[in-house]
Structures are given as structure tokens and as C-alpha cells.
């Protein structure tokens, strides 16, 4: 944006002046980069409910899980490439877990292949109802899935594909709440997904770190609280 500033006779500001004033941030401090000198003032804002009331009956998808840990596999609503999703599912189903998959809009659940005993596939499930029952999440690390899982204290295996997902995957590893498996030459390794998930499920430090971030998110102001604080400060 600097040329536009110069054209108007103005001195260019770092980041186009985006952070010159108060910045609303939905990521808790433990998920932030260590240095943020370009952000002089921050108001934290919790975008997901920190605690949900009991959802009543568990999602029907979990009726077949039995005592197996439940693993949620998703690529969200935009990056839901069925070929990538199939590789994530193949990596997860190799373990002694029950896999719940959402394909997202426009993808037929049958596209993932024949029904398997330890895999349940849907186009959509309410994330809030499913995540409290999950032992781990395997996803693209989109912000909605990434923060939603951490709000419930669920550790993750992140397979970033684009956009902000690489930043989220880095934050995941840095905070110790999970692992990242980045595609190589555009392909996702089924073996690496399986090994990563097995480690996340077997090493309690990931779940403990995710629980700490869950509590940190719970302590952040709600949207109503943040609005009230902003009104008192600037209104």
C-alpha cells in the first residue's frame, strides 16, 4: 500500500496503518507470535463459547464408537478436497479409534468410499455438539476448526493447505497443543498423518497443553463484555 500513501503525499505506515489503533484479537496470548511490536494496543475477544451447556443426546454418529477414542476429521467448508480428505481418513482409521468425518458442502459423503466399521461420514455435523466428545482433531487448521477445538481442550493434527492455516499450524506446534503435517509436493502422507495422530493420542502433554489453552480462551472477554469495555473506553 506504500505507493498509494506516497501518491497522496503521506508517509507510509507499517502494515498500511492497520495496527496504528486498537486491535481486536480472537487468539489467546499463548497462540501469538512471541514478538508483536507492530501491535501497540490489543483487546482480546472470545469468539466461541468457552463452556457449552450439555447438548443432551450425543450425536448419533458416536453410537458406534464404543470405548474407542473419537477422532474428528474435517477440511472445513472451503478447502474440502475429497482426495485430501480421503488421505486424512486413511491415516486416522489405521489406529484403534472411531473416526467421524464431515465432507462439507457440495461433496457427497459416499465419495470417500465404502462404509467402514470405524468411520462415520456426514456432509455436516454441529461442531459444538461433536467436539466435547473428541480425543483429537485432524484438520486443515482453518481458524473455525482450530479455535473451536481448542475451546474444548482438544489436541490436534494440523494439515495446512492454504490461507491462514500455516500460521495456525505453527501456533499449534509452538503452544504444544498438537502436531503439523504439511503436504509434500501437493500430497498428504497417509503414514505421517497416522504417526502424528498416534503420538497426539498417546502423549498426554498435548491434551494437557490444549486444556491450558481452553482455560485461557475461557478467561477471554465475550463479545458482549468486549463491546461494553470498548463503549466505556471510547463511547
Cα–Cα distance list, 132 to 19, 84, 126, 200, 205 (Å): 35, 25, 11, 17, 18
- Tell me the pairing of strands 23-25 and 98-102: unpaired
Residues 214 and 228 in one domain: no
Residues 212 and 167 in one domain: yes
Q: Residue 147 gets which letter from DSSP?
A: H
Using the structure block, give the residue that is written with the C-alpha cell 506516497.
6
**How far apart are alpha carbons 156 and 214 in whole angstroms?**
13
Its domain, for residue 224, covers 13-46+220-234
Using the structure block, give the residue that is written with the C-alpha cell 462404509.
115
Cα–Cα distance list, 190 to 87, 132, 136, 143, 193 (Å): 6, 26, 17, 23, 5
Name the most confidently modeled range: 37-41, 124-128, 163-167, 229-233: 163-167
Q: And the C-alpha cell for 24?
A: 481486536
Residues 153 and 211 in one domain: yes
Q: Between 220 and 57, name the one with better pLDDT.
A: 220
In a domain, 52, yes or no: no
Whether 5 has a pLDDT exceeding 70, the answer reads yes
Whether the model pTM is above 0.95: no
Residues 33 and 118 in one domain: no
pLDDT per position as a tens digit, 25-37: 999 989 988 778 8
In a domain, 3, yes or no: no
Residues 40 and 130 in one domain: no
Residues 108 and 185 in one domain: yes
Residues 168 and 193 in one domain: yes
Residues 126 and 141 in one domain: yes
Whether 193 has a pLDDT exceeding 50, the answer reads yes
CATH of the domain at 84: 3.40.50.2000
The tally of domains found in the chain comes to: 2
Whether 177 has a pLDDT exceeding 80, the answer reads yes
In a domain, 167, yes or no: yes
Residues 36 and 127 in one domain: no
Q: What is the CB neighbour count within 10 angstroms for residue 51?
A: 9
Residues 210 and 224 in one domain: no
**How far apart are alpha carbons 102 and 158 in whole angstroms?**
16
In a domain, 7, yes or no: no
pLDDT at res. 57: 41
Residues 122 and 23 in one domain: no
Whether 210 has a pLDDT exceeding 90, the answer reads yes
Whether 55 has a pLDDT exceeding 60, the answer reads no
Give me the mean pLDDT over the 208-220 stretch.
Answer: 95
Q: Return mean pLDDT, the chain.
A: 87
Contact 107, 123 (CB under 8 A): yes
In a domain, 8, yes or no: no
Q: What is the CB neighbour count within 10 angstroms for residue 54?
A: 7
Percent of the chain with pLDDT over 70: 93
Q: How confident is the model at residue 160 (pLDDT cuts 50, 70, 90)?
A: very high
Residues 227 and 124 in one domain: no
For Cα atoms 62, 66, 70, give the angle at the middle one, nearest 5 degrees: 55
Amino acid at each position: 500500500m506504500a505507493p498509494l500513501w506516497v501518491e497522496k503525499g503521506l508517509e507510509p505506515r507499517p502494515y498500511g496503518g492497520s495496527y496504528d489503533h486498537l486491535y481486536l484479537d480472537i487468539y489467546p496470548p499463548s497462540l501469538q507470535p512471541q514478538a508483536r511490536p507492530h501491535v501497540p494496543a490489543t483487546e482480546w475477544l472470545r469468539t466461541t463459547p468457552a463452556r457449552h451447556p450439555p447438548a443432551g443426546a450425543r450425536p448419533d454418529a458416536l453410537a458406534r464408537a464404543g470405548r474407542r477414542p473419537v477422532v474428528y476429521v474435517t477440511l472445513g467448508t472451503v478447502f474440502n478436497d475429497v482426495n485430501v480428505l480421503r488421505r486424512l481418513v486413511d491415516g486416522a482409521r489405521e489406529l484403534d479409534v472411531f473416526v467421524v468425518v464431515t465432507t462439507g458442502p457440495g461433496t457427497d459423503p459416499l465419495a470417500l468410499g465404502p462404509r467402514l466399521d470405524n468411520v462415520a461420514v456426514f456432509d455436516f455435523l454441529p461442531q459444538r455438539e461433536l467436539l466435547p466428545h473428541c480425543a483429537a482433531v485432524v484438520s486443515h487448521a482453518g481458524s473455525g476448526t482450530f479455535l473451536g477445538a481448542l475451546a474444548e481442550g482438544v489436541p490436534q493434527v494440523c494439515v495446512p493447505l492454504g490461507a491462514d492455516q500455516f500460521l495456525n499450524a505453527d501456533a499449534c506446534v509452538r503452544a504444544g497443543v498438537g502436531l503439523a503435517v504439511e503436504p509434500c509436493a501437493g500430497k498428504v502422507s497417509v503414514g505421517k498423518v497416522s504417526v502424528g495422530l498416534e503420538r497426539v493420542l498417546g502423549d498426554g502433554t498435548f491434551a494437557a497443553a490444549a486444556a491450558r489453552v481452553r482455560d485461557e480462551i475461557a478467561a477471554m472477554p465475550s463479545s458482549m463484555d468486549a463491546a461494553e469495555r470498548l463503549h466505556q473506553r471510547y463511547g
